[in-house]
Chain A
Amino acid sequence: MRSVVVAAAVAALAFGVAQAQDGMRTGPTAPDLAEGKAVFAKWCAPCHAPNPGLAGTFALQHKYDGKVPAALENRTDLQPALVAYFVRNGVAWMPPFRPTEISDAQLAALNAYLTAPLDQRGAPAELLAEEMVQLRSEGQ
């Protein structure tokens, strides 16, 4: 398994940003971004993972028509203030998220993740069901 991860990381470095923007990011996440990635996985990925059928990804594809990646995790133009605004205020059918859901500290970690260089973010956050299905299959 380790060799697969390493190979994937090397591949990610080799192919660079262009492929990353197509949702092909791979490899490990920088340790100081792990908390932000976990916040993204829990609260954002269910709508914003790189799957065109998800509400958030679908809406951003429609809004930007490919000018920026539809999957939030692949964006390189996000600013912390903008992320914080949408998290706390919502937009269209996305509701605001309360501090009991995403604390201010978690929001800061999320911002760190979403504004980090792409090659430090590693592979996209998994949807919960994908993570659990893999866990089950590993356990069998």
Chain B
Amino acid sequence: MSVLPPDLDAAGFAAFLDDLRAVVGPDWVWSSDEDMHAYRDSFSPVWNTEEERHASAAVAPADVEQVSAVVRVARKHRVPLFPISTGKNFGYGGPSPNVNGSVVIDLKRMNRVLEVNEARAFALVEPGVSYFDLYRAIEERGLKLMLDCPDPGWGSPVGNSLERGVGYTMPHFRDHFGAHCGMEVVLPDGEVMRTGMGAMPGAQTWQEYPYGFGPDPSGLFAQGNFGIVTKMGFRLLPLPEYYRTCLITVPKRRDFVKLVEHVNYLNDSGLIGEVEYGSPLRAKMADPQVMALITKAGGVSDAELDAAAEAAGLPCWQVELQFLGPERATYENWTFARDRILGDIPGAQAIEGEHFALPASEHQLDTPQQPWPSAIKRRRSLGVPSLGEWKIVRDDGHIGFFPVLPRDGEAVFEMQRVLGDAMKAFPTLPPFFNALTTPLLWHTHTFQMVFAPSIKHDDPEHNAISHAAMKRCVEVAAEHGWGDYRASPIYQDAVADTYSFNNHALRRFHEQLKDAIDPDGIVAPGRGGIWPRRFRA
């Protein structure tokens, strides 16, 4: 599947590649079909179709000077670059670009952990550093710090946070972009810029005071195309002394509203880590009557779900809470949470779960011993990167849509009903939205729900269904004010279109900026739905 960069013929492409080789050396430029296979999105719903986006070549610089030189070469030849860090953004496009013929600038070789400061709890890393690498750098030195990592540990703190990825420990660390502090960026003209205190020569606080002085442009580089991030600082959690868990159940459907309010309070007060909402009734989903009820058009009533729960002898909802901190504090926080919720919701019950000192032993990491069927993923909850959760992937991969909704039980019921009804048009897909679907409290202050239909490399009909369902889900969600938080290149225009307040004022602003600093679209044109003048024409 050979492609050429936009507006370039084969001779021009060859000259461009020669210029790249002069910068990085002949071993670090690739353009053969065989080599470019690894830069395809192996989770693509448009695999082997006209819609799939293909890069024409890849180049791997060794340092920021080479990144800058590559950008200048690309500018000279007007070739769009598509930066990747570790290239593991699966479900959201993997390493594949927005524009056919783009050249992937693969930053994996830039893999230095530049600093980990235990006393001041921060790290400074390059884009090719993975969560595994950063974890190793902390553990090998025996530092008392905890990472906050996504499910797959092969991803990059830089790449994941620039995608606004999430983790699973304490509230302000789960939002990975929110937990960054200071970045170095190569701009579309090849200049190197530092944000925050990094802009002041001699400042010692680059990873501690994020703003510096004046406007802080760091947000432009997340899900954007205004530069290539070559260094990024992150705040780290001091290793908590102790880990504690508990389970709380509430009997009736409507109890969920109060339960959410209590958990919000605990979260916002910094008393708990990530939570796992669930429904014990899910254990009955193999029962056709239960399945029919929870997928009923128009949603279920309180009475209907309460009756099903009573018949099954199960509570409607549960939440697993996790506490991190000094041992005595975790004990007090757990009993506080228990007393607060049980004192307010009739019939609520609480079970004390596993608890132990940190760091966890191998046995504690490998074999959780909860007195209930737990949805907590032990490693990720303790900031230990792994690929243990990769087994959740079905078929050949999946695509992800995680609509953002308020942390409010009524809003959860509404999303269950609205998106459940809308997705009935795609009956071969699992019922992602049903009356037992519970929200995720991954980002610090908001809920999300999961829509993640699978893809199969050899089944274009199945992929077409997942693709159509994805687009429809984004559309219906937006009609109700629920926006997507992150999208694959093939969906970025559609998602950006839904953020349309005042005749797309935000997009028009981004376009003005893009035209000013990168009119030819050298850095990732189309990313985030932002197109420079050259590609809008």
Which of B34, B90, B384 has most A Cβ within 10 Å?
A: B384
Task: From A42, A90, A129, A135, give the contact of B140 (CB < 8 A).
Answer: A135
Closest chain A CB from B134 CB (angstroms): 11
Task: From B361, B365, B395, give the contact of A93 (CB < 8 A).
Answer: B395
Task: From B38, B390, B395, B396, give the contact of A96 (CB < 8 A).
Answer: B38
Q: Return the chain B residue nearest A89 by Cβ.
A: B37
- B139 and A135 within 8 A (CB): yes
B135 within 8 A of A: yes
Question: How far is it, in angstroms, between the C-alpha of A60 and the C-alpha of B469 when the chains are bound?
Answer: 31
- A95 and B388 within 8 A (CB): no
- B387 and A55 within 8 A (CB): yes
- A93 and B136 within 8 A (CB): no
Question: How far is it, in angstroms, between the C-alpha of A127 and the C-alpha of B153 when the chains are bound?
Answer: 12
Task: From A58, A88, A101, give the contact of B391 (CB < 8 A).
Answer: A58
- A93 and B397 within 8 A (CB): yes
- A47 and B390 within 8 A (CB): yes
User: Which residues of A sit under 8 angstroms from B34, Cβ to Cβ?
Assistant: 88
Q: 0/1 per residue, B82-120, Cβ < 8 Å to A?
A: 000011101000110000000000101100000000000
Which positions 77-101 of chain A face chain B at CB distance < 8 Å?
88-90, 92-93, 95-101
- B37 and A88 within 8 A (CB): yes
Known: A46-B153, A95-B90, A98-B106. A136 touches B142 (CB 8 A): yes
- B154 and A46 within 8 A (CB): yes
Which positions 99-140 of chain A face chain B at CB distance < 8 Å?
99-101, 127-130, 132-137, 139
- A100 and B362 within 8 A (CB): no
User: Which residues of A sit under 8 angstroms from B290, Cβ to Cβ?
Assistant: none
Q: Return the chain A residue nearest B387 by Cβ.
A: A46
Known: A95-B90, A100-B106. A54 touches B387 (CB 8 A): yes
- A95 and B42 within 8 A (CB): yes
User: Which residues of A sit under 8 angstroms from B43, Cβ to Cβ?
Assistant: 93, 95
Q: Return the chain B residue nearest A45 by Cβ.
A: B387
B39 within 8 A of A: yes
Which positions 115-154 of chain B face chain A at CB distance < 8 Å?
128, 132, 135-136, 139-140, 142, 153-154
Which of B39, B128, B397 has most A Cβ within 10 Å?
A: B397
Q: Could you say which interface size class chain B belongs to?
A: 35 or more
Closest chain B CB from A4 CB (angstroms): 17
Question: How far is it, in angstroms, between the C-alpha of A92 and the C-alpha of B458 when the chains are bound?
Answer: 10
A53 within 8 A of B: yes
B360 within 8 A of A: yes
Known: A88-B37, A129-B379. A136 touches B139 (CB 8 A): yes
- A46 and B136 within 8 A (CB): no
Closest chain A CB from B378 CB (angstroms): 10
Q: Return the chain A residue nearest B153 by Cβ.
A: A46
User: Which residues of B sit under 8 angstroms from A100, Cβ to Cβ?
Assistant: 60, 106, 108-109, 128
Which positions 389-411 of chain B face chain A at CB distance < 8 Å?
390-391, 393-397
Q: Return the chain A residue nearest B456 by Cβ.
A: A92
- B135 and A101 within 8 A (CB): no
Question: How far is it, in angstroms, between the C-alpha of A137 and the C-alpha of B37 when the chains are bound?
Answer: 43
B221 within 8 A of A: no
B374 within 8 A of A: no
User: Which residues of B sit under 8 angstroms from A135, Cβ to Cβ?
Assistant: 139-140, 142
Question: How far is it, in angstroms, between the C-alpha of A137 and the C-alpha of B358 when the chains are bound?
Answer: 12
Known: A101-B108, A133-B359, A134-B362. A96 touches B42 (CB 8 A): yes
User: Which residues of B sit under 8 angstroms from A133, Cβ to Cβ?
Assistant: 359-362, 365
User: Which residues of A sit under 8 angstroms from B140, Cβ to Cβ?
Assistant: 132, 135
- B393 and A55 within 8 A (CB): yes
Complex A-B: 27 CB contacts under 8 Å: A47-B390, A53-B391, A55-B390, A58-B391, A90-B38, A93-B42, A93-B43, A93-B393, A93-B394, A95-B43, A96-B38, A96-B42, A98-B39, A98-B95, A100-B106, A100-B108, A100-B128, A128-B132, A128-B385, A129-B365, A129-B379, A130-B362, A132-B139, A132-B140, A133-B359, A133-B365, A136-B139
Interface contacts beyond A101-B87, A135-B139: sample of 6 additional A-B pairs, CB < 8 Å, sorted by A: A46-B154, A54-B387, A55-B390, A95-B88, A128-B136, A129-B384
